[in-house]
Structure 1
Amino acid sequence: MGAPNELLNLSLNAKAVIPEGFVLLAMLGTLLVDLAGEETAAKWSPPICYAGLVSALVVLASQWNGSLQESFLGAFVADNLAIAFRGVIALSTLISLLISWRYAEKSGSPVGEYAAILLAATLGAMLLCGSTDLVSVFVSLETLSVASYLLAGYMKRDARSSEAALKYLLVGSAAAAVFLYGASLLYGISGTTSLKGIGIAIQDSPSPLVALSLVFVLATVAFKIAAVPFHQWTPDVYEGSPTPVVAFLSVGSKAAGFALALRVLIGCFDAFDTQWKLLFTVLAVLSMTLGNVVALAQSSMKRMLAYSSIGQAGFVMIGLVCGTEEGFSAMVLYMAAYLFMNLGAFACIILFSIRTGSDRIADYAGLYQKDPLITLGLSLCLLSLGGIPPMLGFFGKIYLFFAGWADQQYLLVIVGLITSVISIYYYISVIKMMVVKEPQEASEIVKSYPSIQWQTIGLPPLRVALIACVFVTAVGGVLSNPLFKWANDAVAGTPLLQDAIAIASKGAIG
């Protein structure tokens, strides 16, 4: 009776997934109030979402540096890495919701349904961060993906939104099929769905099937983080989807993708790190180069940020390729920094689009004359994305480049530095468009832009999100050391990463 009881206790261990429980309750709550009518949903959905997400963040903070918790017969683990990425995802959802309500109200879309679907995507993304079994990985991945397809096409009356959802669905379904095929090969080779068990089974028996499964799994990971050449869906989906949805996809979905990369590649294929690191080196170079170069030619702000996000994924991959404690820590830190600077930029874009209905870069010409506060916020966030000191993005890139240089990843660091300079050009071009233009050279949209003072904007949630993101982004020099210590603790408190670092260190010494 001892063994069954032990399994039962392990499967019912709720401590590891309490944060997801709060998100689930919030999702069910928004669905229930939505049944009472649109007015009731618009009134009660925001506080329900805030309560669920804040409770999840509080519980995640309480679990930090705690004992290792497992759930679902070991298919989910709540180590520090999972807690860190789940925190980034929950916070990105909270900020995305803050900047969503006025946008959803203006578009005439049901608020309750939107919030429930976004929380479902959050639930899948958070569970994906701690999944240690092929079954739990796939269920979490598809929960995130299906909800993302619905969010992309949420503006039912907008043909571009429907087109974005269809493209995302087709490409995402192909990626899911590829992952399933690779997972079936891994199960056939190892006889288990546990990532750890698969890693042990294949470490001493390399075969063409293992190599094929590695390629399939890597393709799925690359699709999720929008790495070149698996990025084709990104510009169209970003341009056609509702802007708050794009904000979530750019941070929450990407964070879940990198968590998946760490779990699967290190958990399953650590014995083949030379092969997958070489592949990711190529992906990183292509992503940094294509993402930042093509962004130069964009006329839409959302498409520019889409290609920017592809380049940003290339920067984060530098830490993944390093495979060192500094590299992993820099990855976690940069995702946290990216959360604030990217969502801050999207908050400014939403404010502008609410007033003008446009996302064309040319229409921002002369914005400083009418709205200096949005201009300042967007400028600070773009400068941080470009890596200009003393913004938070500068320190995030410095830690990544230092980790890459220490690990002798000279090609990645040099490409990263060059493409960072390229990115600064198109970010500053937007700032110049807003600030330098003379009043008579302002766009027609800006000329008709209502001169509204900040205190009378009347968008409290959006205003709170914008202030918070811009503040954290601007004081990055003060916050970088505490954030890096937090990122170091995330790596130090994760046995999976520590084992990989130890093996890599022995290999380097040998």
Structure 2
Amino acid sequence: MKPLIASALFGVIMMFAALSVKEKKTFSLIAAFLLAILVGVNVYELCEVMHNANGDTTLFGSMLRYDSVSIWFNTLMTFITFLYVLLCGKNIERVGQHVGEYYSLIFFILCGANLLTGYSNLLILFLGIEILSIPQYILAGSDKKSLKSSEASLKYFLMGSFSTGILLMGICLLYGAMHTFDITKFNFMEPGGMNMMALAGILFLIVAFGFKVSAAPMHFWTPDVYDGAPTPFTAIMATIVKAGVFMAFFRLFSQSFGGINAHWSLVLSIVTALTLFIGNITAVFQQSVKRMLAYSSIAQAGFMLFAVLSVNATGMKGLIIYSVAYSVATIGMFAVLMKLKDYTYDGFNGLAKKEPFLAFAASIFLFSLAGIPLTGGFFAKYFVLTAVMEQNTNMAWLVIFALIMAAVSVYYYFKVLMAMYFKKGDPEMAMEVTSTDKVVLGIVVVIVLLIGIMPDVLIGWLTN
């Protein structure tokens, strides 16, 4: 509860700071300081829950239920947001005049994510989704000088509103069938068999979540929105936001829908296969690295869907590792991208010669996204694929297909490596790479490698 209140309060503080603070750099310092405090609040809350005899904290008549896993996940996502501000703060300051408001919206996004990781009631799910989504519509259109940014904001708003309507329809059908919003009290079986109204509600929820996490065939808004939105905000939309929604997706199916696996696993399997195929194949043909990363995020969503398919302890571990490894590597890659003026593959030509550390960091991030051993992405993929095989050995065909698609992803990630190390050029830098940038990027690189070497650092003590 404390992190939820703190994130909302810090968002309000940033709004009031925007009225009095004039220097843009000051906003980044204030935001970083408040995020550091928020990490501390999450750690304090985690310690309280761990020492609680019941093992979790329930609030508002059990509408919210925080356990050690959900609070640990919130702590990790808050820390990654802290790193994001350190890496991308200068770029956020260059987007527009309302820097304080931008940071305020980021705190509200964390507030929404906090609700999504602890809900036990469908009404809280709806509130969390909306609190998470509405700031993104604003951030996507924050660059008033860019027509692409305005277009991205409009598309995101329309598609988001459409998916919210589908979500509400699913919630209504489930309430009509179950007579409660509490997901822990759902019982889908009737004397005559499956409750068909409930099944329809579940399908509506799968479609709605598919929109939110960019799963195919509900992904079509993603490339245009990610490409048109200001790059610093694309980074958080593709990472923290997606990870939070996936945790809500996993929570929904693990707590309430686990008993009807046979009814929904085929639907999710088809969605997963489509997401992997469309995301990877279309990424191959992109000429812009930013747009490639947008399609890459669709492909990565396909792997994260394996955790939802499994809904077991290994799937939970996999989702936590995947969320952290993917988020850190993607934010790091976007931080490198924002140092360049040209976002095409040619813009990376010769980067290793001009900025060797920047090229090295980008290489580690791309290795992780591709799932190369000794990086966080390798164990992230290993855990989610293992989770599915533990749950249902009949899913072997989907695991093999995912491995083939992972091999395809190596091609378009390594195109960037080829440009940096094996092609001649003089990349034009959008801004200077300072010593502070190198230190923070170095920390992010170490985190990616640490997860790849010792993944139990993230989830070992939770298992115990």
TM class by smaller structure = over 0.9
Matched to 1:379, the amino acid is S
Of stretches 184-193 and 417-426 in structure 1, the one that deviates more from structure 2 is 184-193
Fraction of identical pairs, as percent: 30
**TM-score normalised to structure 2 length:** 0.92
Shift of 1:351: 2.2
Are positions 1:480 and 2:455 aligned together? yes
Q: For residue 6 of structure 1, what is the aligned residue in structure 2?
A: none
CA deviation vs aligned residue, 1:436-495 (integer Å, no higher than 9, x gap): 013xxx16xx1x54996x6xx26x3x4444222111113344322323415646xxxxxx
Matched to 2:364, the amino acid is L
Q: For residue 10 of structure 2, what is the aligned residue in structure 1?
A: 26
Matched to 1:55, the amino acid is G
Do 1:149 and 1:168's aligned partners in 2 also have CA atoms closer than 8 Å?
yes
Matched to 2:208, the amino acid is T
Are positions 1:54 and 2:29 aligned together? no
Q: For residue 508 of structure 1, what is the aligned residue in structure 2?
A: none
- Unpaired runs of 5+ in structure 2? none
Structure 2 CA distance, aligned partners of 1:398 and 1:220? 27
CA deviation vs aligned residue, 1:309-342 (integer Å, no higher than 9, x gap): 1111111222322233223322222212212222
Matched to 1:479, the amino acid is M
Matched to 1:419, the amino acid is M
Are positions 1:318 and 2:287 aligned together? no
Q: For residue 276 of structure 1, what is the aligned residue in structure 2?
A: 264
Are positions 1:45 and 2:30 aligned together? yes
Q: For residue 405 of structure 2, what is the aligned residue in structure 1?
A: 419
Q: Secondary structure at the match of 1:130?
A: coil
Shift of 1:44: 5.6
Are positions 1:247 and 2:235 aligned together? yes
Q: Secondary structure at the match of 1:38?
A: coil
Q: RMSD between aligned alpha carbons? A: 2.2
Are positions 1:231 and 2:215 aligned together? no
1:94-243 matched pairs, under 5 angstroms: 94-197=82-185, 199-200=186-187, 206-243=194-231
Do 1:387 and 1:397's aligned partners in 2 also have CA atoms closer than 8 Å?
yes
- Unpaired runs of 5+ in structure 1? 1-16, 490-510
Structure 2 CA distance, aligned partners of 1:110 and 1:69? 37
Q: Secondary structure at the match of 1:390?
A: coil
Shift of 1:231: 0.7
Q: For residue 417 of structure 2, what is the aligned residue in structure 1?
A: 431
CA deviation vs aligned residue, 1:26-55 (integer Å, no higher than 9, x gap): 112111111114328537633543344333
Structure 2 CA distance, aligned partners of 1:449 and 1:44? 24
Q: Secondary structure at the match of 1:475?
A: helix
Matched to 2:61, the amino acid is L
Larger radius of gyration: 1
Q: For residue 379 of structure 2, what is the aligned residue in structure 1?
A: 395
**TM-score normalised to structure 1 length:** 0.84
Structure 2 CA distance, aligned partners of 1:486 and 1:426? 36
Are positions 1:469 and 2:444 aligned together? yes
Of stretches 218-227 and 332-341 in structure 1, the one that deviates more from structure 2 is 332-341
Q: For residue 396 of structure 2, what is the aligned residue in structure 1?
A: 410
Of stretches 236-245 and 40-49 in structure 1, the one that deviates more from structure 2 is 40-49
Q: Secondary structure at the match of 2:161?
A: helix
Matched to 2:457, the amino acid is P
Matched to 1:88, the amino acid is L
When residues 252 and 267 of structure 1 are mapped into structure 2, their CA distance, relative to the original with a 3 A threshold, is: same
CA deviation vs aligned residue, 1:263-313 (integer Å, no higher than 9, x gap): 222333233221221111111111111111111011111211111111111
Shift of 1:100: 3.0
Structure 2 CA distance, aligned partners of 1:260 and 1:450? 37
Matched to 1:235, the amino acid is P
Matched to 2:16, the amino acid is L
Q: For residue 368 of structure 2, what is the aligned residue in structure 1?
A: 384
Do 1:181 and 1:216's aligned partners in 2 also have CA atoms closer than 8 Å?
yes
Q: For residue 290 of structure 1, what is the aligned residue in structure 2?
A: 278
Higher relative contact order (CA 8 A, sep 6+): 1
Q: For residue 8 of structure 1, what is the aligned residue in structure 2?
A: none
CA deviation vs aligned residue, 1:68-98 (integer Å, no higher than 9, x gap): 1011221111112321332233123222222
Q: For residue 329 of structure 1, what is the aligned residue in structure 2?
A: 317
Q: Secondary structure at the match of 1:220?
A: helix
The count of residues paired between Structure 1 and Structure 2 equals: 457
Structure 2 CA distance, aligned partners of 1:153 and 1:306? 17
Structure 2 CA distance, aligned partners of 1:429 and 1:476? 25
Structure 2 CA distance, aligned partners of 1:451 and 1:281? 44
Structure 1 CA distance, aligned partners of 2:430 and 2:182? 58
